[in-house]
Amino acid sequence: MKYIQLGKTGPSVSTLGLGCMGMSGMYGPSDRAEGIATIHAALEAGVNLFDTGDFYGMGHNEMLIGEALKGVARDKAIISVKTGALRDRDGGFNGIDNRPAALKNFIAYTLQRLGVDYIDIYRPARLDPNVPIEDTVGAIADMIKAGYVRHIGLSEVGADTIRRAAAVHPIADLQIEYSLISRGIEDTIMPTCRELGIGITAYGVLSRGLISGHWQKGQGQSKGDFRAYSPRFQGENIDTNLALVDALRTIAGAKGVSVAQIAIAWVAAQGSDIIPLVGARKVERLEEALGSQNVQLTGGDLSAIEAAIPKNAAAGGRYPEAMLAHMDSEK
């Protein structure tokens, strides 16, 4: 495993991170023992970046990670936590609360659930339209002074918000969706991050399994599975998108790698400042993702991939329209 500094001011992280959300639902039933085994396998492979959110499974995900990390030296795991999303008993979302008082309350619960004394990277999950980003970042900066947080991150925000946040305190990274079929950050968001020395942790590199090479039409439509209402998995959209996967499969096969491996490698090849986060829930899927670290894409490979999956080729939005309308990164 290789390691790089996350942005100009962030911690040293593995060049592949593990996103743990799926271990607490969102993609159908999850297996606690399998989730813990996957985290342990990641640690053994040298992965040190683990991403979660205090609202994943309403705290379940943080407790799961806390259990998995018991007995592990604290400096072996870089824990990234998103906060601010409000949920109801049925798992629905009720908006964002990034008020300073709320964030200082949320982190107290997070530290308790994880069983740690500090969070490596703390970030608002989304922009709160009622709270200036300066106030949110300022509150997390106070947590750094208090010793509860080491670095500040952002998530799914646009270029203007990134600049305003960075004017208050150094930002380690922006976490945002980025994949072969989600390339919106390339226009203004990525250049802004690079100008300011902010790293990018890319989630959704396999587009929630859609471009993993393992997805089959009709899967993931059960209640509580995000893909049951994700536009890219519905109607004619899924047929169009799976045709893109077939085109990618041809390229991957010629190179002797899996579809997932070439899709992850493509994200990593877009810059040394980008860390792919893989949402593996099982050891076998993690092992496949780790294989992407050995995939070297030539200029010819990249051209072939671009021809097979041109920018904006995907059918359907990455979130339902009602959700996209409230995302600062989409403005």
CA dihedral of 84, 88, 91, 93, whole degrees rounded to 10: -50
SS3 65: helix
Residues contacting residue 297 through CB under 8 Å, at least 6 positions apart? 262, 265, 266, 269, 305
Do 173 and 205 contact (CB within 8 A), yes or no?
no
Show the tokens assigned to 307.
């021809």
Residues labelled catalytic: 56
Residues contacting residue 174 through CB under 8 Å, at least 6 positions apart? 153, 154, 155, 157, 162, 189, 193, 198, 199, 200, 201
Show the tokens assigned to 135.
């106030």
Do 133 and 155 contact (CB within 8 A), yes or no?
no
* DSSP, residue by residue, 258-312: -HHHHHHHHHHTT-TTEEEEE---SHHHHHHHHGGGG----HHHHHHHHHHS-TT
Residues contacting residue 157 through CB under 8 Å, at least 6 positions apart? 126, 127, 133, 165, 174, 328, 329
Do 129 and 99 contact (CB within 8 A), yes or no?
no
Q: Which amino acid is at 175?
A: Q
Q: Which amino acid is at 76?
A: K
